[in-house]
Amino acid sequence: MKVAIIKYNAGNIQSVDYALKRLGVEASVTADHEEIRSADRVIFPGVGEASTTMAYLREHKLDKLITDLKQPVLGICLGLQLMCRHSEEGDVECLGIFDETVKRFVLDHKLLPSMKIPHMGWNTISGLKSNLFDKSIEGEYCYFVHSYYATTGSDTAAICSYPEPFSAALQKNNFFAVQFHPEKSGAVGAKILENFLRLTI
Amino acid sequence: MLSKRIIPCLDIRNGQTVKGINFINIIEVGDPVELGKLYSEQGADELVFLDITATHEGRKTFVELVKRIAANLNIPFTVGGGISEIRDADALLAAGADKISINSSAIKNPKLIDDLALHFGSQFVVVAIDAREENKHWEATMHGGRIPTGKELFSWAKEAENRGAGEILFTSMNHDGTKQGFANEALAHLSGLLTIPLIASGGAGTMEHFADLFKHGKADAGLAASIFHFGEIAIPDLKQYLRGEGICVR
């Protein structure tokens, strides 16, 4: 199986590569359009700022490339946010694969006295609705680090709450995305990555 | 619900855990990767690897070690020790570190926090503060508490947050090594001032100390070294105990 990890101006790509290696998969970390288009699976990872990253994607014509992909695509963290319609981070139009918008967490000490930003650490995911997950994952903890979140809607495939519900995962056709870091979420995360490699659409 | 994190801290010298670590009283582990994996399997939520090597050679060994940790560990980890410029952080990010922690270098050059946050994002930057209380005044110190800095703990932590730190790791030098519990009063005050997560360190001796830390110290995470390394507290037992105390843990 050919797996391409999209290389762009974002951090944390190394960890995803390592996680796939632990599953016995040698991925290529690449920005080459043909290599990405011909891969069986494409992973769109990332940690970074939304508007500068979108500008980079447009400049390198990766925006159109990603939205036209037909094979299973998995966005991670910033990847998920950029696959939405719009992000408040730098007030930027994103790829629009999912109809959700990305907003910044607002401190709400009435609802959650201990609330901090970023939402950092292990939180539970529930309401799972995608073949990215199996029943054993319902209510399990995954590792999150983010200050912006995607709203919930018809494409929401998993919910997390901080304290209000947001999209921990989204899916539409061949496009999958998770806000948490499966590559850092222990055995649960490894299972989700494995499911992504195995699933059929 | 977001869980409270339990973080074992490992001291590394020349690529090996500092000797004397006797994991769960059974296995002696020198390789930080093996020890890290054991902790991860036991339910540690994150790990901190602190390089206490002072030499240039040792530093290169550490970067190689970070690559092996990143390749083998499937939970987040922070690395610290000797990071004083962007170049150091860049090498550690490229090796696969999730976060870096800076301490003395931030005190000497606070702008380093701004620069690191700008280059790598706040989520990558942990500012560690070792502080000592004297006559109700908390002062940040350097070099293991030996050198006072003139910076007051609370204002320095808030400044670090404003400059772009993603987390604060506060060690009370009054409590460190005493096993008498965490500095809960100072921690609760600090947690209330900050909008970013707070990791508490110094004073863990019993499981009750962690319950007190989360109930009264209001910290988001608890860090400890010897009680885990010497098998005095096993992480699964600690988590079970905390759950029984109504504290959300993974």
The ipTM of this complex is 0.93
Output the pLDDT for position B53. Answer: 77
Asked if residues A105 and A119 have their Cβ atoms less than 8 Å apart, the reply is: yes
Output the pLDDT for position A59. Answer: 95
Mean pLDDT within A13-23: 94
Output the pLDDT for position B8. Answer: 96
Q: Do B5 and A162 touch (CB under 8 A)?
A: no
Mean pLDDT within A167-179: 98
Output the pLDDT for position B24. Answer: 43
Q: Please determine, for residue B221, whether its predicted confidence score (pLDDT) is greater than 70.
A: yes
Mutate which of A143, A146, A193 to test chain B, going by most B C-beta atoms within 10 A? A143
Mean pLDDT within A102-126: 93
Mean pLDDT within A90-105: 97
What confidence tens digit (pLDDT) does each residue in B12-42 have? Answer: 888 888 754 444 444 456 789 999 999 999 9
Chain B CB contacts of A123 under 8 Å are 1-3
- Which of 34-53 (B) contact A at CB < 8 A? 40, 45
Output the pLDDT for position B28. Answer: 54
- CATH code of the domain in which A34 resides: 3.40.50.880
What confidence tens digit (pLDDT) does each residue in B92-125 have? Answer: 988 999 999 999 999 999 999 999 998 888 999 9
Output the pLDDT for position B54. Answer: 67
What secondary structure does DSSP assign to B147-174, as a single string? EEEEEEHHHHHHHHHHHT-SEEEEEETT
Mean pLDDT within B48-72: 87
Q: Please determine, for residue B149, whether its predicted confidence score (pLDDT) is greater than 70.
A: yes
Output the pLDDT for position A79. Answer: 96
Averaged pLDDT of chain B: 91
Nearest CB among A48, A123, A146 relative to B1 is that of A123
Count of domains for chain A: 1
Chain B CB contacts of A15 under 8 Å are 70, 96, 98
| Spatial CB neighbours of A58, under 8 Å, sequence gap ≥ 6 | none
Output the pLDDT for position B29. Answer: 61
- B236 touching A, CB under 8 A? no
Closest CA of chain A from B141, distance in Å: 26
Q: How much of chain A exceeds pLDDT 70, in percent?
A: 99
- In the residue annotation, B11 being an active-site residue is answered as yes
Chain B's closest residue to A10, CA to CA, is B120
- Domain span at residue A37 reads 3-198
Asked if residues A182 and A19 have their Cβ atoms less than 8 Å apart, the reply is: yes
| pLDDT confidence band for B235 (50 / 70 / 90) | very high
Q: Please determine, for residue B214, whether its predicted confidence score (pLDDT) is greater than 90.
A: yes
Rounded distance between C-alpha atoms, residue A101 and residue A83, angstroms: 10
Rounded distance between C-alpha atoms, residue B210 and residue B213, angstroms: 5
Asked if residues B135 and B94 have their Cβ atoms less than 8 Å apart, the reply is: no
Q: Please determine, for residue A119, whether its predicted confidence score (pLDDT) is greater than 60.
A: yes
- Which of 15-74 (A) contact B at CB < 8 A? 15, 18-19, 21-22, 47-49
Output the pLDDT for position B27. Answer: 47
Nearest CB among A49, A119, A122 relative to B250 is that of A122
pTM: 0.95
| pLDDT confidence band for A150 (50 / 70 / 90) | very high
User: Which of the residues A49, A89, A183, A194 is marked catalytic?
Assistant: A183
What confidence tens digit (pLDDT) does each residue in A38-63 have? Answer: 999 999 998 788 998 999 999 999 99
Chain A CB contacts of B218 under 8 Å are 114
Higher pLDDT, A109 or B189: B189
Distances (CA, A) of B75 to A124, A186, B45: 15, 5, 7
Asked if residues B24 and B8 have their Cβ atoms less than 8 Å apart, the reply is: no
- B122 touching A, CB under 8 A? yes
Asked if residues B61 and B53 have their Cβ atoms less than 8 Å apart, the reply is: yes
Q: How much of chain A exceeds pLDDT 90, in percent?
A: 88
Going by C-alpha positions, the residue among B39, B29, B34 that lies closest to residue B7 is: B39
- Which uninterrupted H or E stretch holds B185? helix B184-193
Q: Do A121 and B98 touch (CB under 8 A)?
A: no
Q: Do A143 and B75 touch (CB under 8 A)?
A: yes
Output the pLDDT for position B30. Answer: 76
- A198 touching B, CB under 8 A? no
- In the residue annotation, A146 being an active-site residue is answered as no
Return the minimum-mean-pLDDT range out of A5-14, A152-161, A172-181, B132-141: A5-14
| pLDDT confidence band for B145 (50 / 70 / 90) | confident
Output the pLDDT for position B39. Answer: 94
Pairing of strands B47-51, B27-28: unpaired
Secondary structure class of A142 (helix, strand, coil): strand
- A134 touching B, CB under 8 A? no
